[in-house]
Chain A
Amino acid sequence: MIPHRLTRMRRGATAPFMEDMSSLWETLGEAAMRRIAVLAGFMALSACINVNAPAEPIVIELNINIKQEVLYRLVDSAEQNIEANPEIF
């Protein structure tokens, strides 16, 4: 890949610079900004990462983790169940 370098140094960060994006445009100039855009485009193309899916499926066992949360929310209904059916508890 061809190394790219900005032709002009960027001015140090000042309060108005940081607040207003239009000043960035003025500082670097339209041509420089366009070059940055082109460079970003090249980087996006060259930075493609191939992800190979694993041969075995990923199994996440959530049953145990979820259970405790589920139990907490069932307490009220379980207590009502005892009141509604006292003969079986």
Chain B
Amino acid sequence: MTAHMLTKTAISLAAAAMIVAPAAASVQRDPAYAAARANGTIGEKIDGYLGFVGSPDGSLRAKIDDINIRRKASYAERARAEGVTIEEFAFAQGCILIARTSPGEKYQAPDGSWQTRGSGAARLDPRCPSVG
């Protein structure tokens, strides 16, 4: 194999990796978590955590609690790096997570009510930065 061929192979591999990378993010969700998001059993809350819209079974509740604990750990780490409170970081994260919900998913509106994301923009807290 010549050096030229090696370079071409490396470039095509890098290109393939770039195509696969964005798709991998949504694949990494636990299937039960993904299903609960899709069917509206759970939703994104204003405070940056997942909440139960309906009444989940025990195994789903345990799974969501676990995700929320891991979310909090990530918020704590980043809040410390940024010099803010965990609640402030979590709230900023919540703004982004609500803004990025897919149509059909549940999210909490500024008044605390559960809303189903439509095709338009989600109702965000007025303090939320404008994020896509």
Q: How far is the CA of A67 from the CA of B95 in the complex (A)?
A: 13
Q: Which of A70, A78, A82, A83 has the most CB of B within 10 A?
A: A78
Pick the contact of B92 from A74, A86, A88 — CB < 8 Å?
A74
B127 close to chain A: CB less than 8 A: yes
Chain B residues closer than 8 Å to A77, beta-carbon distance: 78, 81-82, 89
* CB-based nearest B residue for A77: B78
A87 in contact with B29 (CB, 8 Å): yes
A70 to chain B, nearest CB (A): 5
B70 in contact with A72 (CB, 8 Å): no
A14 close to chain B: CB less than 8 A: no
A75 in contact with B25 (CB, 8 Å): no
A79 close to chain B: CB less than 8 A: yes
Chain A 49-89 near chain B by CB (<8 Å), digits 1 or 0: 00000000000000000011011111101110111111111
Q: How many residues of A contact B (CB 8 A)?
A: 20
Q: How far is the CA of A50 from the CA of B96 in the complex (A)?
A: 52
- Chain B at the A interface: mostly helix, strand, loop or mixed? helix
B82 in contact with A87 (CB, 8 Å): no
The verdict on A81 contacting B82 (CB below 8 Å), with A71-B91, A75-B129, A75-B131 known, is no
Chain B residues closer than 8 Å to A71, beta-carbon distance: 88, 91-92, 95, 127-129
**Residues in chain B within 8 A of chain A (CB atoms):** 24-26, 28-30, 67, 70-71, 74-75, 78, 81-82, 84, 88-89, 91-93, 95-97, 127-129, 131
**Residues in chain A within 8 A of chain B (CB atoms):** 67-68, 70-75, 77-79, 81-89
- Which 7 pairs of residues, A with B, have the shortest CB-CB distance? A74-B92, A86-B25, A78-B93, A86-B28, A87-B28, A71-B92, A68-B127
List 10 extra interface pairs beyond A77-B82, A86-B29, CB under 8 A.
A67-B91, A68-B127, A71-B91, A74-B88, A75-B92, A75-B96, A78-B78, A86-B25, A87-B30, A88-B67
